[in-house]
Amino acid sequence: MNRLGFIIGGLLLLLLILSSTLFIVDQRQVAVIYEFGQIKEVVQEPGLKFKLPPPFQNVGFLDRRIQTLDSPETRPIFTAEKKSLVIDWLVKWRVTDPRQFIRNNGVDIRNLEARLAPIVHAAFNEEVTKRTVGGVLSTERDKVMQDVRARLADDAKAFGIEILDVRIKRVDFVANITESIYSRMASERKQVANQLRATGGAEGEKIRADADRQREVIVAEAYRDAQKVKGEGDAKASAIFAEALELFAQADVSLNYGMTETYRSAGLPPHLARERPESVGFAYPGVALSVVRDDGSPCDPGELGEIVHRGTGAFLGYWGDAKATAGVLRPDPAWPHAGVAAPKAVFSGDLGWRDEQGFLVIKGRRDRLIKSMGVRVSPDEVEALIRGSGLVRDVVVVGLPHELMGEKVAAAVIPREGEPDPTAQLKLFARQAMSPHMQPRDYRTLDAFPLTPNGKTDFQRLREMFDEARRHVRA
């Protein structure tokens, strides 16, 4: 048993001695074999190598890859004009003579970098003092780097290395000079800015005065033209209606008004259709119609307001949408019985007025009007212009919130069959055919418009789609 243990111990000792004689040289390294503290051999070929076991021979390794030395400090250097500069530099180098390198620095690269950095700084100092600030910054920058590299070549041989490249990373004035230059530049810019503000203020007043004058003229002319077009349109509509009544002289024509939420609200008796074709008449029995202002107070005859329906035919609410229901079904502001809770009425969102005789006239939708740049814009008018351009198959216009304009006009369009996105052409057309407050600021090309469960255009969903597209662009 003791003999077996002795054999095993001897084998382990022999294995340990053999392992201490083997070492691997990586292709990125150089191996240096020391014999009693003296360099015995330098091994540059990669692979498995042999040496005597310690303490007879030991092995050290040097990195043969390209190394980078960055400027460790930013001491000022004076130019030929006695101006102080701070230069950040870097030096690319590698070991070429391992024996010489180890004699001067040992195997620790940090020793070489600590000795090389002052030499590089001195070389830069010698070259920069010959040149002006402009030369160092631009015209002679490459020449400075080349000359510094040439100066370092002899010193590098003494260290057993080769200098591969020298680069200037940054050239700047020292902090106090930089601050002085910045202060002077800021003062000059402020002086120029103040002069420009004064000039711009005067020009701005002139432009505003001219713009106000032009605005008054344009508004007056536009109102004149609008009234002319409106009159022509009303005359044409009346002529068409009169022609239809004449064509169907034996028929009784009844004009009616209602909503999805109320079924039927008002109607014009057939015997009045020829006399009042612009009106929808009076409320049906069991229905109370009122025209109210934004604060709920009743409108005067001829005053535009929102039409409110109470009574027969009013719906109970939107299925599964309490929020939308609460926005439409509200206490009737025209309830005449004080002290008794007002029943719910349908706020239609339709705009209209009553004349002196009580006839109801419909003029449009509250939720469709857009207030852009302080001017009320009719989406129907913008849609009609875009359809008339011939660039789209269909269009829907909505208003979107805007910080400066209050609301901006946005257009969702369906392109014509087989034609590309018409957005660029539409923008050009809008600039030529529309006033600035009417021009759409956002466009969205769709295959079809979103619809409500009732089959009507879902304007709220359209606004959400524009908002989603805006968030996607920002992300």
- How large is the angle between the packed helices 379-388 and 423-433, nearest 10 degrees? 110
Q: Determine which of 339-348, 359-368, 397-406 has the lowest per-residue pLDDT on average.
A: 359-368
Alpha carbon distance 277, 320 (integer Å): 39
- For residue 366, name the pLDDT band (cuts at 50, 70, 90): low
The predicted structure's pLDDT at residue 237? 62
Q: What is the mean pLDDT of residues 421-441?
A: 91
Burial of 471 (0-12, 13-18, 19+ CB in 10 A): exposed
- For residue 96, name the pLDDT band (cuts at 50, 70, 90): confident
Alpha carbon distance 423, 429 (integer Å): 10
The predicted structure's pLDDT at residue 180? 67
- How large is the angle between the packed helices 109-128 and 141-159, nearest 10 degrees? 140
Q: What is the mean pLDDT of residues 283-309?
A: 89
Most confident of 14-18, 132-136, 363-367, 370-374: 132-136
Q: What is the mean pLDDT of residues 130-153?
A: 87
pTM given for the model: 0.36
- For residue 474, name the pLDDT band (cuts at 50, 70, 90): low
The predicted structure's pLDDT at residue 423? 92
Please, are residues 280 and 255 in contact by the beta-carbon 8 Å criterion? yes
Residue-wise pLDDT for 175-223, tens only, equals 666 666 677 788 888 888 888 888 888 888 888 888 888 877 776 676 5
Q: Determine which of 221-225, 300-304, 342-346, 441-445 has the lowest per-residue pLDDT on average.
A: 221-225
Q: What percent of the chain has pLDDT over 90?
A: 13
Q: Is 189 left (phi over 0), alpha (psi -120 to 50) or beta?
A: alpha
Residue with tokens 């091994």: 43
Of 15 and 201, the structure prediction assigns the larger pLDDT to 201
User: What's the gap between Cα 35 and its chain centre?
Assistant: 69
Residue-wise pLDDT for 25-45, tens only, equals 788 888 877 777 677 777 777
Residue-wise pLDDT for 320-331, tens only, equals 888 888 988 999
- For residue 411, name the pLDDT band (cuts at 50, 70, 90): very high
Of 226 and 412, the structure prediction assigns the larger pLDDT to 412
Q: What is the DSSP string of 346-393?
A: EEEEEEEEE-TT--EEEEEETTT-EEETTEEE-HHHHHHHHHHTTSEE
Alpha carbon distance 135, 294 (integer Å): 73
Of 442 and 49, the structure prediction assigns the larger pLDDT to 442
Residue-wise pLDDT for 246-257, tens only, equals 787 777 777 888
The predicted structure's pLDDT at residue 57? 75
- For residue 228, name the pLDDT band (cuts at 50, 70, 90): low
Three-class secondary structure assignment of 282-338:
EECCCEEEEEECCCCCECCCCCCEEEEEEECCCCCCCCCCHHHHHHHEEECCCCCCC
- For residue 391, name the pLDDT band (cuts at 50, 70, 90): very high
The predicted structure's pLDDT at residue 218? 79
- For residue 300, name the pLDDT band (cuts at 50, 70, 90): very high
Look over the chain and give the mean of its residue pLDDT values, rounded to a whole number: 82
Residue-wise pLDDT for 348-362, tens only, equals 888 888 998 889 988
Residue among 369, 392, 381, 393 at smallest CA distance from 433: 381
Q: Which two tokens stand for residue 198?
A: 């004064």
- Amino acid identity, residue 218? I
Residue-wise pLDDT for 105-121, tens only, equals 877 888 888 888 888 88
The predicted structure's pLDDT at residue 397? 92
Q: Which domains does the chain have, with CATH numbers?
A: 2-55 (no CATH), 67-173 (3.30.479.30), 255-365 (2.30.38.10), 370-474 (3.30.300.30)
Residue-wise pLDDT for 230-247, tens only, equals 556 655 666 776 777 778
Alpha carbon distance 413, 369 (integer Å): 19
Q: Determine which of 69-83, 113-127, 172-186, 400-414 has the lowest per-residue pLDDT on average.
A: 172-186
User: What's the gap between Cα 422 and its chain centre?
Assistant: 23
Q: What is the CA radius of gyration of the chain?
A: 45
The predicted structure's pLDDT at residue 263? 80
